[in-house]
A and B are shown apart, each in its own frame.
Chain A
Amino acid sequence: MKPEEETLSALRVSAVKKETIISLYSSLYLIRRFEETVLENFPRGVFFGTTHTYLGQEADAVGVLSHLQDDDILFSNHRCHGHFLTYGGDPRALFAELMGRVTGVCGGRGGSQHLHWRNFYSNGVQGGIVPVATGMALAEKLKGSSSLVVAFLGDGTLGEGVVYESLNMAALWNVPILYVVENNRIAQTTPIEQAAAGSLAGRFSAFGLPVIELDTSDVLQISAVAQAILSAVRQKSAPQALILNTARFGPHSKGDDTRPPELLARLRAEHDPLTIHGSRLNPFERTEIERSVNQRIEAAYQQALQDPFPVLDLQEST
């Protein structure tokens, strides 16, 4: 970020209303507590398959998505829980989906990575979502709607060729989409130094997309910049990119983190969005928010556990 942009976002930070600060903290903590509950309970065998937790990256989802309008579309990836919850998705339905219950977001058919609710979509194949999200934005433009699409991808996904086919067509056809790269510097176990040559921003600017790169886990900074970019995407009806340099605190899925504990401790100490944003609240306010969210998550988890499993009905789909 350029110095004048930093000043600008600092000014915006000081002007943020108290209820917005509380609401953003609540959103951040909702993701944190959901993901912790998933990891804590995985060993009990209540969830199917695997999971990819969003711990550490919460400010990305909350900062960007707080500016979505009702008809906007969100396309997410394998690490989608944070995006889904911030979009307004029901924690109980997400728990139930991970537990393979009929009340799950997709009735247990999709599991952790394959969600659809209202204008939220996710899929688990790296890169494959990018043309689909681009096509959605193109369709909205062709239909004359004012909706835009936000597509989240990770740094690892930049290895997939179809991403660049999509960026090219998005630029050629002026598609109203924001590509958000959450660069947590590691793809499963492969560090970015072994996966991405050259510059990440250059991969977007090569196609003529305006790109902004942010190096922060502060939800207010991300929010201020995202607001401006989304407004530009909407006004110009053209694609842009936002690179968020972030930190993944947890493993890629579960128990597969090969990074040294000291590095993880340092990431948590320096980049925790809850610590950074929580400092804007007094301890009593934080505790109150956390207590209320803990109750909500616990209730959602317990309700999902009671929900029935689905039964295969092949007639339904024909």
Chain B
Amino acid sequence: MTTVLDSLNAGLHQAFAADERVYLLGEDLLDPYGGAFKVTRGLSTAYPERILTSPISEAGLVGIAAGMALRGLRPVVEIMFGDFLTLAADQIINHAAKFRWMYNDQVRVPMLIRTPMGGRRGYGPTHSQTLEKYFLGVPGLQVLAPCALCSTGSSTTSQTLPSGSPGELLYRAILTTQDPILFIENKLLYLQPVQDESSLNEFDVNFLPEVDGIPISPSFTLSLKAAPPASLTVLAYGYMAELARQAIYQLAYEHEIFCELVIPTRLASCSIQPVLDSLKRTGRLLVVEEGTLTLGWGAEILARTSEAPGPVLKACGRIAAREVPVPASGPLENQVLPGVADIAAAAVRLNRL
């Protein structure tokens, strides 16, 4: 069994093997520790001269990586907790993401910032957030989020990383991007197995390698095998996609409500074509995210589906975190973050409309 952590680690190792312009900067990266969440383990042993373990300086690190990218390297930055991205916001928004366009397309900024996001580990208000919504819609910045799925087909870019898997997404992003990428890894995904259609034996998995011709944008659409036509589309990414998969399973067996689950891996730039395709069949949409509700990713998705020509939505809704900081106490945290029961309850409600 390959976990998401193994897959990401393999993606990094292969990227380092494939291109000597790849460097890694971040805090506490060196073996035997190998990074706070161990995604980078083994790299400092295999490529000691290309791993720069750094002081606690998130803004400085991201700026240094932008400078390295402007001068032809392909740096990867690990921000230990996604919560700390705010420290680097000026470097991301006012520097890295702007350089290419601001300098009249005379430069490229091929860098990637990876960071773990999300709660459910009791880390409390400053180490549990899902902050990527603040970085969606920044011109020049791409945002990717892997999920615990892959295609059964082999990858065209890497011989050992399955297509669409977290590691393959990371590998391709590091080696091929021309623009800064923010790569969001939900912490609870790390220990999940990476599954494909053969291991998810109760689901049909439709893998779309690319959405709207946008590079590095695989997406998955899941539905229960041999189920009647679906009446609801559920859209979720990252670890929320795992919870949504549990919810649609429950909905089928306990409520006879059948859903299609659409899982994008690219949040920005935003393309909703797989959602629109699914909505043609279902007419109802539920968007699920772990960040707070207000002015979030789901709001943009619903705005775009409403604007799209075609049949009018029969019903739509959003599930997200409550509008408070993420608490440390387990029972409190469970009430603040959206769970399987919240998704299922919302689906039952929407299905009546």
Residues of chain A touching chain B, judged by Cβ–Cβ distance below 8 Å, are: 73, 105-107, 109-110, 114-116, 121, 123, 125, 128-140, 142-143, 161-162, 165-166, 168-169, 172-173, 316-317
Contacts and interface: CB of A to CB of B under 8 A. Distances in A.
B66 A132 contact: yes
B104 A107 contact: yes
B60 A162 contact: yes
Nearest to B21: A143
A245 B48 CA distance: 42
Most chain A beta carbons < 10 A, residue from B66, B103, B105: B103
12 contacts: A106-B106, A121-B70, A131-B60, A132-B64, A133-B67, A135-B65, A138-B67, A143-B71, A162-B59, A165-B60, A166-B64, A169-B54
A291 to B, nearest CB: 34
Contact of A162 (B63, B67, B75): B63
B230 to A, nearest CB: 33
B72 interface: yes
The number of chain B residues touching the other chain, given as a range, is 35 or more
A132 B63 contact: yes
A134 B94 contact: no
A166 B60 contact: yes
A132 B63 CA distance: 5
Contacts of B67: 131-139
B67 to A, nearest CB: 2
A174 to B, nearest CB: 12
Contacts of A131: 59-64, 66-67, 91
A64 to B, nearest CB: 20
Given A123-B95, A139-B71, A168-B57, A134 B104 contact: no
A136 B63 contact: no
B36 interface: no
A123 B63 contact: no
Contacts of A133: 67
B68 interface: yes
Chain B: interface secondary structure? helix
B64 A317 contact: no
A132 B57 CA distance: 13
B64 A168 contact: no
B102 A109 contact: yes
Contact of B102 (A110, A130, A316): A110
Contacts of B71: 73, 135-136, 139-140, 143
Interface in B96-128: 98-107
Given A116-B103, A131-B67, A142 B59 contact: no
B103 to A, nearest CB: 4
B215 to A, nearest CB: 10
Given A121-B70, A142-B73, A168-B60, 10 more contacts: A105-B104, A131-B63, A131-B67, A134-B60, A134-B63, A135-B64, A136-B67, A143-B71, A168-B55, A317-B100
Contacts of B73: 139, 142-143
B208 to A, nearest CB: 20
A182 B225 CA distance: 69
B210 interface: no
A125 B90 contact: yes
A143 B72 CA distance: 9
A316 B277 CA distance: 29
Nearest to B75: A135
B68 A138 contact: yes
A243 to B, nearest CB: 21
B63 to A, nearest CB: 3
B72 A165 contact: no
B52 interface: yes
